[in-house]
Structure 1
Amino acid sequence: MIPTQPKVLAIIPARGGSKGVPQKNLRSLGGRPLIEWTIDAARDAACVTRVIVSTDSRQIADVARAAGADVPFLRPAELATDTASSLDVVAHAIQMCPGYDIALLLQPTSPLRTSADIDAAFSLMRFTNAESCASVALVDETPWLMFRLDDSGRMERILPPWPGGMRRQDLPSVYTVNGAMYFVMIAAFAENGQLITDETVAYEMDPEKSIDLDTYADFERAAAILSANRPE
């Protein structure tokens, strides 16, 4: 059960190292460091009680503090590797910052997610009394039309044929987790250690806003979207 006035801890993970785009979290997007877009969205969200950045980088910590986020600790080295998971980072942040009811994971590589998205997802979680909420986006591809190849190159269906028909318009819509945000009741996370379970409700975002910045091309695309949507 979600409390009447829950305390929400927004956690923004921002590791210093990045293989694809060096210093990705500090790279300029629309004239601002990438991480600032997520910090601003979190700070502007009515449901968020506190915004923290979990980082191993003093440079990122300085930028985050200047943007209005708290950096109550520097992430330990074992949580700053390529193998450290988001689950580990969330668990560590919750341990370091006790006293909250809900954790909100916001990846800084999703700069087009807004404070309105955050508040709408939170409202959905409360309305449905779900223990967690994850943002998703509709995808064009469908697993009913996908195949594996065996050792001889022959095709094996990923899923058996859909009983309602195999035309694309007959198949169910499918969604992918876009990584923009994850809400989770901290009590539930303490029990199962997961952000997504059978009790997770989905908040659908526009595919264009669901862009996850991982390459230089992603930055160019996000910059173009921001430019196109900027008021004259």
Structure 2
Amino acid sequence: MINDKKVLAIIPARGGSKGVHRKNIRHLAGKPLIAWTIEAAKESKYIDRLILTSEDQEIIDIAKNYECEVPFIRPKELALDKTPGIDPVLHALENIPDYDYVVLLQPTSPLRITDDIDACINMLMETQSPACVSVTEAESSPYWMYSVDEGGLMHPLIKQDQFSVRRQDLPRVFSLNGAVYVADINWLQKNKTFLTKETSAYIMPRDRSYDIDNEEDFSWCEWVFNNNG
């Protein structure tokens, strides 16, 4: 609870995965991938209730073993490759009423720590914004990115009066890292997205901002855990 408002955290984890087979329950540094997110969320000083939404019984069983509540089984039509990511969240909110804020924690961000979760919630409160998401400074600046036409000519994605050759001369730019999403529930149900011009940003360091999408990401995160323990 924060400012007398109740906080619900949701971990979405479906069984299908193309980049890494069964990645949500594959062992990373000695425990299932999903366990890292469950453990970080359970240490939060603001989260009142933590639930999992999944259609996969094996994922559900493992989550329960790590003391994560599973109050319902997600409908299979909300666990397809083409299912928008917001749909399982909205479905969960329909089934779990009487909360003020929701925190979405994707299990593919195992390097995210409890402090990141709580800092993102705090940022939402400090900015008085209806939503806050975690970001990290982009490795490649869009000011140095181009499209290439059929004739092989380059066109800058962002038009500039003068080309900047030094990175320090460019504006800082940030990208979503997928680690933490927080929103006012009434606002989210109305807008059906965490991302609008009203959304604020919590900036995370790059070394905690890896989102596992393929085998290379998985191997890197495992290396980080094994070498920073």
User: Could you tell me the TM-score, scaled by structure 2's length?
Assistant: 0.96
Task: Quote the sequence identity (%).
Answer: 42
Deviation of 1:190 after TM superposition, in Å, equals 1.8
Q: Could you tell me whether the CA contact under 8 Å between 2:105 and 2:179 is conserved in 1?
A: yes
CA contact (8 A) 1:162 1:171 kept: no
Deviation at 1:140, TM superposition (A): 2.4
Structure 1 partner of 2:86? 87
Q: Is the Cα–Cα contact under 8 Å of residues 2 and 46 in structure 2 kept in the other structure?
A: no
**1:105 and 1:182 in contact (8 A); partners too:** yes
| Residue number in structure 1 paired with 2:182 | 183
SS in 1 for 2:37: helix
Q: Are 1:158 and 2:154 an aligned pair?
A: no
Give distance in 2, aligned partners of 1:198 and 1:29: 36
Deviations 1:68-110 (A, max 9, x none): 1111111101101000111111111101111110111100000
Change (3 A) 1:46 1:163: farther
Is the 1:144–1:162 contact (alpha carbons within 8 Å) kept by the matching residues of 2? no
Report the CA distance shift for 1:149/1:41 in structure 2 as closer, same or farther (over 3 A). Answer: same
Q: 1:89 to 1:162 in 2, by over 3 A?
A: farther
Q: SS of the counterpart of 1:125?
A: helix
Deviates more, 1:38-47 or 1:191-200: 191-200
CA shift, 1:4, in A, is: 2.3
In the alignment, what sits opposite 1:149? 148
1:23 aligns with 2:29: no
Deviation of 1:168 after TM superposition, in Å, equals 2.2
User: For residue 139 of structure 2, what is the amino acid of its counterpart?
Assistant: D
1:7 aligns with 2:1: no
CA distance 1:203–1:162, shift in 2 (3 Å)? farther
Separation (CA, whole Å) in 1 of partners of 2:214 and 2:159:
35
- CA displacement at 1:216 relative to structure 2: 2.0
Change (3 A) 1:227 1:8: same
Q: 1:155–1:111: structure 2 CA closer, same or farther, 3 Å change rule?
A: same
Helix, strand or coil: the match of 2:134?
A: strand
1:92-150 Cα offsets, whole Å, 9 max, x none, are 11011111101111000000111111111111111111111100011121111111111
**How far apart are the structure 2 equivalents of 1:163 and 1:135?**
31
Whether 1:118 aligns to 2:136 is no
Gaps of 5+ in 2: none
Counterpart amino acid of residue 148 in structure 1: S
Q: CA RMSD in A?
A: 1.6
Separation (CA, whole Å) in 1 of partners of 2:51 and 2:129: 24
Q: Secondary structure at the match of 2:24?
A: helix
| Corresponding residue number in structure 2 for 1:50 | 49
Gap change, CA 1:218 and 1:6, over 3 Å in 2: same
Query: Using the alignment, how far apart are the partners of 2:114 and 2:101 within structure 1?
Result: 17
Residues 23-74 of structure 1: per-residue CA shift (max 9 Å, x gap): 1101001110000000111111011011111101011111111111111111
Distance 1:128 1:51, change over 3 A: same
Could you say if the C-alpha distance between residues 12 and 50 of structure 1 is closer, same or farther in structure 2, counting changes exceeding 3 Å?
same
Name the CA distance, whole Å, in 2 between partners of 1:190 and 1:214: 27
AA in 1 matched with 2:36: W
> 1:163 Cα shift?
6.0
